[in-house]
Amino acid sequence: MRFDYKKILAIIILTLFCTWIIPPNNIAFAHQISVNSYSAIIIDQKTGRVFYEKNAHEPRRIASITKIMTAILAIESGKMDETVTVSNNATRVEGSSVYLKPGEKIKLRDLVYGLMLRSGNDAAYAIAEYVGGSVEGFVFLMNEKAKQLGMKNTHFANPHGLDDHEDHFSSAYDMAILTKYAMENEQFREISSTKVYRTPDPKGNWDRIWRNKNKLVTGLYKYSTGGKTGYTKRAKRTLVSTASKDGMDLIAVTLNTPSSTDWDEHIQMFEYVFDHYQYESIIKNGKIKKIEDKVYKNHAYLDRDFIYPIKKNEKEQFEINYRLIKPKKEWRKKEDEIPEIIGKTEIYFKDQLIHTMPIYYKHGKKKHNSFFDYFSIIFGSVIGVHSND
């Protein structure tokens, strides 16, 4: 049997090349699940660790998942209990609607529920006019918030996600960052996870009943905690979803999904992470034993643990560096002059800096003045010798 060594060599080179350019996490995911969406990502909500990504930083049209930004800005406005008068322009917005009426008076809170559960474009417009003073003013707020959150591949042009502007886009990674931020807000978490919401209909005999369009929330996935759906002809299907199991909180985003496979893609991604990762304490709080400097020894400490989600075989891939302020000579005798923060801890994972933590100095108990000390202070104050310096 003759071997074609050139073909074998080519296969080996190709395999090594693919291993080099594709993150190991992506390779593992590719063997376990199928992601047909053009862009996808799943991250840990607590730490931001990226478990899997596919074209995650490429700007794409995002459709109605835009409304996550609209919702969090409305919540943070502090006006949720105020009453909004719906304008004619708001009722004329095309697409999905909660069927607001011109001149209708409705609580901002109800509008946000209609926005998130039913994806009401009319609700988005009414929120933007009220919170931002105008749609243009609200869009400015959206982009300012995006900058603050580090959403580098994002630009908002409207509050609803319709394809009425060419410069309205984001990336899977940026939407994950936004959702991570939004999920830190208790009101947002509550709204996002609501299955059914009732609100009065001003001209009807019955309450409006809004059921969440997110099938993951309404029963398809028992660990679902929220999210937002989206669709336009140009963006195709978009989906942001969150899930929690055994204390682990995850965020998944898919963009430009050609069919309704996105529900299954999100479940597969969630299940893979839940099955293969767990939180581990990488650094524990308390005294840092490795610091040998005479000034800092037995006084340098961390005020909290650092927890990170990892696989069983990843524990050895962390490197911890302690960087300290160079102590002054006089600090050996004047402990009170040593600052509270004396440096920082750098945590590297797979040769990448993932987190920093301050290093604190634990000062000893304040020395009690003796009778002679008190006498000296009193005497000094009388003759003008004592100084507070």
**For the CA atoms of the chain, what is the radius of gyration?**
28
Q: Catalytic one among 37, 96, 119, 193?
A: 119
For residue 81, the SS3 value is coil
One domain, residues 190 and 146: yes
Does residue 370 fall inside a structural domain?
Answer: no
What phi and psi values does residue 312 have, to the nearest 5 degrees? -60, -35
Does residue 121 fall inside a structural domain?
Answer: yes
pLDDT band for position 224 (50/70/90)? very high
pLDDT higher than threshold 80 for residue 7:
no
The larger pLDDT score, comparing residue 230 to residue 7, is at 230
Query: CATH number of the domain that 328 lies in?
Result: 2.30.140.30
- Residue (of 24, 78, 60, 30) closest to 240 by Cα position: 60
Number of domains in the chain: 3
* Alpha-carbon distances of 324 from 149, 305, 338, 343, 358, rounded to whole Å: 29, 19, 12, 4, 10
One domain, residues 210 and 234: yes
pLDDT higher than threshold 80 for residue 81:
yes
Residue position matching structure tokens 């002809």? 233
Looking at every residue in the chain, the average pLDDT score rounds to 88
pLDDT band for position 25 (50/70/90)? low
- The percentage of the chain sitting over the pLDDT mark of 90, rounded to a whole number, equals 78
| Interval 26-33 mean pLDDT | 66
One domain, residues 155 and 43: yes
One domain, residues 166 and 235: yes
pLDDT higher than threshold 70 for residue 374:
no
In the sheet that holds 39-44, the strands lie side by side as 50-54, 39-44, 248-257, 236-245, 224-232
The larger pLDDT score, comparing residue 14 to residue 109, is at 109
| Interval 83-89 mean pLDDT | 98
Tallying the residues shown for the chain, one arrives at 389
Does residue 371 fall inside a structural domain?
Answer: no
* Alpha-carbon distances of 347 from 48, 230, 282, 353, 374, rounded to whole Å: 14, 37, 9, 6, 47
What is residue 31's predicted lDDT score, i.e. its pLDDT? 65
For this structure, is 67 an active site residue?
yes
One domain, residues 288 and 320: yes
One domain, residues 157 and 73: yes
Burial tier of 79 (Cβ tally within 10 Å: 0-12, 13-18, 19+): middle
DSSP notation for 249-315: EEEEEEEEESSTTHHHHHHHHHHHHHHH-EEEEEE-SEE-TT---TTTTTTEEESS-EEEEE-GGGG
pLDDT band for position 92 (50/70/90)? very high
One domain, residues 216 and 263: yes
What is residue 364's predicted lDDT score, i.e. its pLDDT? 74
For this structure, is 34 an active site residue?
no
Does residue 311 fall inside a structural domain?
Answer: yes
What is residue 29's predicted lDDT score, i.e. its pLDDT? 64
Q: Domain boundary residue among 235, 251, 276?
A: 276
- Sorted by sequence, the CB contacts under 8 Å of residue 293 that are 6+ apart come out as 324, 327
Ranking 42-46, 137-141, 208-212, 333-337 by mean pLDDT, the lowest is 333-337
One domain, residues 301 and 271: no
pLDDT higher than threshold 90 for residue 383:
no
Ranking 57-66, 104-113, 199-208, 371-380 by mean pLDDT, the lowest is 371-380
Give the Cα separation of 270 and 4 in Å (integer).
Answer: 42
Q: Catalytic one among 39, 64, 96, 224?
A: 64
Q: Helical H runs in the chain? A: 5-21, 24-32, 67-76, 88-91, 108-118, 121-132, 135-148, 172-182, 186-192, 262-276, 371-383
* 308 close to 314: Cβ distance less than 8 angstroms: no
* 252-306 tens-digit pLDDT: 999 999 889 999 999 999 999 999 999 999 999 999 999 989 899 999 999 999 9
Angle, CA 62 vertex, CA 217 and CA 216 arms, to 5°: 10
For this structure, is 64 an active site residue?
yes
pLDDT higher than threshold 50 for residue 98:
yes
What is residue 28's predicted lDDT score, i.e. its pLDDT? 61
One domain, residues 113 and 260: yes
One domain, residues 189 and 304: no
Range of the domain at 24: 1-32
| Interval 127-150 mean pLDDT | 98
One domain, residues 177 and 103: yes
One domain, residues 126 and 230: yes
Q: Catalytic one among 67, 145, 180, 236?
A: 67
Q: Which two tokens stand for residue 325?
A: 């302020």
